[in-house]
Amino acid sequence: MTRRIVLSWSGGKDSALALQELRRSADCEIVCLLTTLTRDFERISMHGVHRELLHRQAAALGLPLEEVWIDAGATNASYEQAMSTALQKLRLQGATHVAFGDLFLADIRAYRERLIDSVGMQPLFPLWGRPTAALAREFVEQGFRARICCLDTRVLDDSFAGAVFDTSFLDRLPEAVDPCGENGEFHSFVSGGPGFESEIPVRPGVLHRKDSFLFCDLLLMSDSEDCKTPVSGAAVRSAAKG
């Protein structure tokens, strides 16, 4: 029996790897991508990526997109209500499973399992238990392209903001930082690679601080710009993004 799957999509590398893994299975049909956005800023929650770039991703992947809107500073209860409403609608349309790109945090997995069970669907974790050091390098070796859109300045310095996620990035990471950022050390935006019909040309823009987090405002490039333009010289200002 075909599993009709909604993929929880942050726009980052773990989401892209989870999608690739699911597409390899003959019994999986991806119904849509499901993304939480912050209403106040029209950006992907936690990642701070523009909604326009999210739409570019969905189009490049050839998949429908379901958006879940929450307010800035939303409580767990309001997030769960918004998510449950979206999932119940998708279940009535025939979706049976919800997949996540989580890797090893058992408490996060248990939380998701409870939420998905409450709406009568089944959770999937296609990357669960994969060694993160190997997985991060596999992402690069397979030809995915991504940039760092958010980082926790308590564990990474500002130079990592907007950086290309490549072997050089991985080699620079402090030993205590998970190579996939599974503990929230950083988040990424995937602009191309396996499964993408076309590249999404982005460049790093202004940096924004919010508490201990530093967001890099990724921008669509013009045809005359080089996608490898570095962050150097980007202004830093305080703003509540993501």
Q: At what angle do helices 106-118 and 76-92 cross, to 10 degrees?
A: 50
Decide the pairing of beta strands 186-192 and 97-99.
Answer: unpaired
Query: Do 119 and 7 lie in a common domain?
Result: yes
**Which pLDDT score is estimated for 178?**
98
Q: Which residues lie below 8 Å from residue 195, measured CB to CB, with a gap of 6+?
A: 16, 19, 20, 23, 61
- Mark which of 77, 96, 124 sits at the end of a domain: 124
Question: Domain total for the chain?
Answer: 2
144, containing H or E segment: none
**Which pLDDT score is estimated for 223?**
53
**Which pLDDT score is estimated for 229?**
37
**Which pLDDT score is estimated for 228?**
41
Query: Do 56 and 143 lie in a common domain?
Result: no
Query: Do 44 and 78 lie in a common domain?
Result: yes
Spatial distance between the Cα atoms of 218 and 44, rounded to a whole number of angstroms: 12
Query: Do 43 and 82 lie in a common domain?
Result: yes
Exposed, middle or buried, 101 (CB in 10 Å: 0-12/13-18/19+)?
buried
| Token code pair at residue 241 | 């993004």
For residue 106, what are the domain limits? 3-124
**Which pLDDT score is estimated for 225?**
56
**Which pLDDT score is estimated for 230?**
36
**Which pLDDT score is estimated for 232?**
30
- Classified as helix, coil or strand, 60 is helix
Q: At what angle do helices 13-23 and 132-141 cross, to 10 degrees?
A: 80
**Which pLDDT score is estimated for 1?**
86
Q: Which residues lie below 8 Å from residue 88, measured CB to CB, with a gap of 6+?
A: 119
Query: Do 13 and 54 lie in a common domain?
Result: yes
Query: Do 16 and 74 lie in a common domain?
Result: yes
Query: Do 217 and 146 lie in a common domain?
Result: yes
Going residue by residue through the chain (242 aa), what tens digit of pLDDT does each one get? 899 999 999 999 999 999 999 999 999 999 999 999 999 999 999 999 999 999 999 999 999 999 999 999 999 999 999 999 999 999 999 999 999 999 999 999 999 999 999 999 999 999 999 999 999 999 999 999 999 999 999 999 999 999 999 999 999 999 999 999 999 999 999 999 999 999 999 999 999 999 999 999 999 997 545 444 333 323 333 233 33
